[in-house]
Amino acid sequence: MEQTKIQWTDDTWNPFHGCHKVSEGCKYCYMYRDKERYGKDPNVVMKSKTGFYAPLKWKEPRLIFTCSWSDWFIEEADQWRDELWEIIKSTPHHTYQILTKRPERIKQCLPADWGQGYDNVWLGVSVENNKNLDRCMILGEIPAKVKFISAEPLLGELPGLNEIFSKFKFDWCIIGGESGNSTGKYLYRECKLEWIVDIIKTCKEKNVKVFVKQTGTFLKKQLNLKDSHGGKIEEWPEELKIREFPDKKTSSTLSTVVSNDEPKVKSKSLSKELSGATLNTGSKANRTVTSEKSSLDLAKEIKKIETEETFHKVTYVYEYVPTINKNPMNTSVSIIINNK
C-alpha cells in the first residue's frame, strides 16, 4: 500500500510512472523533482515492477488516487490500460480517483463496457487557470458516476467555472495553491486568497462539493502559517475551512460487521483527517464514547463496549461523515446495535 500525505485520498496507485509536461501547471511537478533526485528520467514512461497489481492485494476499501506519478490516459500506457481496467473491475470495494490533463484521450481509452461509468471510478481533470477550462468542457460530455475538478496548482482566477457548472454536472472541486521552494529549480508561484474564496463561493452556489487541500507556499508565507505547504486546516482563515467529499463516497468507511458469538470488530482506517471522533451507541446504556486518537484506538474502544455489553448477535453500521463548519477535523461514527 502506498501511503500518501494527500488529504483527499487514502492511498496512491502507480501502475506506471513517468510523464510529459503539457501545460503551465506541470512546470514544477513533484514527480519530476523526485525522479531527478534518484537519477531517473521523468520523461520515460515505465510499467511498475512492484505496484502494477497492488490494489488486488488491498483487502480494505480505499479511495485510491490513480497515477499520481503519471497520467492514466497518457499514450504510452495504451499497452497496459485494458489490463488495468480489469483490475479496477475486479476490486469494486475500492474507489479510484482518476485525474488527467489529457481529457481529449478519455473517450478512446474507456473500456467497451463503460456505459454510464463504473460505480467505483471518479473521473477528474486538472485545471490550473481559466485558459485550461476547456478540459472541463470535454469531461462534461463524458459519462461518469462522479466527475471532479482539481484546481491545483491554482495559478489564476477561474471566472469561467460558473458557466461550466451551469452547463455540466460536476460533483466535486479540489483547490490547492502551489508548494515549492524559494530558491533552486523547483519553486512556487502566487496563489491569491480571493481566488480560492471565489471558487468556494461558485461551488456553493452550484451545489458542487468543495475540498480545500492547501494554501500553497505563497499564501503560507503571506498568512504566516507553520505548515510548509499550508496544508493544516486549523491554521487557515475561517472562509477556507472546508473539506467536503462527493455524496457518492463509497470508500474510507468501516463496513458492516456481523458477529454470531463473541462480537468482533475489524479495525479499518476512517481517514487521514481523523483527529477526533464520537461514538454514539444504540446499546442498552445508550453510551457515548469520545476518542481523539487513531481509528485503531477507536476500534479498540468499540471492542470494549462489545465486551461489556456481551451481545450474542450484533449488527454494526458505520458511516464516515466528514464535518465542516466550526470543527472540520471531527468525524462522527454511528453504531446501530440490534439485540437478537
Q: Tens digit of pLDDT for each residue in 107-140?
A: 999 999 999 999 999 999 999 999 999 999 999 9
Q: Is the pLDDT reported for residue 76 higher than 80? A: yes
Q: Is the pLDDT reported for residue 188 higher than 50? A: yes
25: cell is 501547471
Q: What integer is the mean pLDDT of 49-55?
A: 97
Q: Is residue 97 part of a domain?
A: yes
User: What is the reported pLDDT for 261?
Assistant: 30
Secondary structure of residue 36 in the 3-state scheme = helix
One domain, residues 60 and 205:
yes
Q: Is residue 247 part of a domain?
A: no
User: What is the reported pLDDT for 270?
Assistant: 33
User: What is the reported pLDDT for 311?
Assistant: 32
Q: Is residue 245 part of a domain?
A: no
Beta strands 11-13 and 2-3, pairing class: antiparallel
Residue closest to 222 by CA, chosen among 238, 241, 236: 236
Q: Is the pLDDT reported for residue 231 higher than 80? A: yes
Residue closest to 194 by CA, chosen among 238, 157, 242, 241: 157
Q: Is the pLDDT reported for residue 297 higher than 70? A: no
What does pLDDT average to over the chain?
80
d(CA 89, CA 83): 10
Specify the DSSP element, H or E, that contains 12. strand 11-13
Q: Are 56 and 6 contacting, i.e. CB atoms less than 8 angstroms apart? A: no
One domain, residues 197 and 331:
no
Confidence of residue 2 (pLDDT cuts 50, 70, 90): low
d(CA 127, CA 154): 8
Q: Tens digit of pLDDT for each residue in 18-48?
A: 999 999 999 999 999 999 999 999 999 999 9
One domain, residues 290 and 226:
no
One domain, residues 92 and 224:
yes
Single-letter amino acid, residue 198: D
Single-letter amino acid, residue 315: T
324: cell is 465542516
- Boundary of a domain, candidates 215, 240, 265: 240
DSSP state of 205: H
pTM for this predicted structure: 0.75
Q: Tens digit of pLDDT for each residue in 298-338?
A: 444 444 444 433 333 333 333 333 333 333 333 333 333 33
Domain count within the chain: 2
User: What is the reported pLDDT for 101?
Assistant: 98
d(CA 207, CA 247): 11
Q: Is the pLDDT reported for residue 1 higher than 70? A: no
Beta strands 276-281 and 321-322, pairing class: unpaired
Confidence of residue 249 (pLDDT cuts 50, 70, 90): low
Q: Is the pLDDT reported for residue 52 higher than 60? A: yes
Q: What integer is the mean pLDDT of 167-192?
A: 98
User: What is the reported pLDDT for 159?
Assistant: 97
Residue 212 or residue 280, greater confidence: 212
For residue 186, the domain's CATH number is: 3.20.20
- Of all residues in the chain, the percent with pLDDT exceeding 70 is 72
C-alpha torsion sign, points 143, 145, 149, 152? negative
Single-letter amino acid, residue 32: Y
Q: Is residue 252 part of a domain?
A: no
Q: Where are the beta strands (DSSP E) in the chain?
A: 2-3, 11-13, 16-17, 46-47, 63-66, 95-100, 121-126, 146-151, 172-176, 209-214, 257-259, 276-281, 288-291, 314-316, 321-322, 330-335
One domain, residues 211 and 273:
no
User: What is the reported pLDDT for 328?
Assistant: 34
- Boundary of a domain, candidates 240, 273, 296: 240
Q: Which domain holds residue 145?
A: 2-240
User: What is the reported pLDDT for 135?
Assistant: 98
- Boundary of a domain, candidates 209, 240, 271: 240
d(CA 212, CA 214): 6
